[in-house]
Amino acid sequence: MLDDLLISHRALIIARTQERLAARQSPRPPLAEELASGIPAFLEQLGDALRLAKTTDVVDHVQIAASAARHGKERLRMGVTIAQVVRDYGDVCQTVTELAIELNAPISTEEFRTLNLCLDDAIAEAVTEFAGQSTRASADQGTERLGVLAHELRNHLNTAMLSFEILKSGRVAIGGSTGLLHARSLIGLRDLIDRSLADVRLDAGIERLERIPVASFVQEVEIAALIQAEAEGLQLRVTPVDHDVIVVGDRQILAAAIANLLQNAFKFTHKNGTVSLSTRVTADRVLFDVEDECGGLPPGKTKELFRPFEQRGTNRSGVGLGLSICMKAARANGGEMHVRDVPGKGCVFTLDLPRVAA
């Protein structure tokens, strides 16, 4: 009987399911700790349901649904997709069926019906919980993002208004510290707005692809960056690029990505330091490197930098979305983002894009 098979060959079923999951390319296979909790629990409930169905002709939908809901919630927390949840349960049942055939353990019509009902319950409840949690998480993140953005806009605006009132009174020269403070506030407002617009366009999937000559693109980015570097008391070093280097992408989104990298570099570079923007070109890639002089990162911190609302360093200003937007911008334009720590000196952030023929 199928329930006896589940008991006597439980370890083999789990091992074969793990092999099946690990071998698949898409969706991503689950982590070991996911398999250790969700799959064995489903097998136990499947066995209970088969035994219960023998005597009462009833399947314990409630128990399976509750466990699957917990499984769906756990999978969301681990960063997996709905497709993976569906495939996980399907792979378990496929493994059980194949083993029954291999061992010549016949599955009756009622057992097969119970197996399908359990699978249906598990998938439906896990997906429902997964979708509900995902919706709530998105809503919470949207509320947090809006609140932090409004707070940062207000801070920059208040500083700009106060510095403007002081400048208007004539008590200080516009070229002094108050004038620089006013300029930094306006730059901060512009950057927040540009970053938010790029983030909205990326989330909405709005792209305007065009051929972009890298030399002129870098020059445009340099003009805006020089103003901010001067306001922060820093040096900006930009390397020239050959005029025949071309990439294809959304110019506004890519400009926002490079601007975000430079803003972070200015923010964390020590006073009187230097920020560098260099461009490396290969036969098929164009790599924009932004190097700062922040002193380097603590061990194991590089992966955290690209999470939304993660901020590095003791300076807590900014919404913490810049590097997350850079990652999304790179992938939306067929590229990737990398970061390299230079211990004792700083970090190098790289926007890696495909190169096209001139």
Residue 266 lies in a domain: yes
Residue 292 lies in a domain: yes
Q: Which of 140, 164, 199 is the last residue of a domain?
A: 140
Residue 151 lies in a domain: no
Q: Which of 92, 122, 140 is the last residue of a domain?
A: 140
Confidence (pTM): 0.50
CATH of the domain at 44: 1.10.490.70
Distance CA 147, CA 136 (A): 16
Same domain, residue pair 338 and 229: yes
Rounded percentage of the chain residues whose pLDDT exceeds 90: 17
Residue 166 lies in a domain: no
Same domain, residue pair 41 and 129: yes
| Residues facing residue 286 across a β-bridge | 281, 353
Strands (E) across the chain are located at 209-213, 235-238, 246-250, 274-281, 285-291, 336-342, 346-354
Which tens digits make up the pLDDT trace of 160-180?
887 788 778 777 777 777 787
Q: Are 173 and 179 in contact (CB under 8 A)?
A: yes
Helix (H) or strand (E) segment spanning residue 45: helix 32-56
Residue 167 lies in a domain: no
pLDDT, the chain, mean:
75
Q: Which of 90, 120, 140 is the last residue of a domain?
A: 140
Residue 24 lies in a domain: yes
Which tens digits make up the pLDDT trace of 54-68?
666 554 556 655 655
CATH of the domain at 227: 3.30.565.10
Burial of 324 (0-12, 13-18, 19+ CB in 10 A): buried
Same domain, residue pair 228 and 125: no
In 3D space, the residue among 22, 19, 21, 71 whose CA is nearest the CA of residue 45 turns out to be 71
Same domain, residue pair 253 and 134: no
Would you place residue 310 in the very low, low, confident or very high pLDDT band (cuts 50, 70, 90)?
very low
Same domain, residue pair 127 and 248: no
Q: Are 352 and 285 in contact (CB under 8 A)?
A: yes
> How many domains, in total, are found in the chain?
2
* pLDDT reported for residue 164: 82
| Domain that includes residue 31, residue range | 2-140
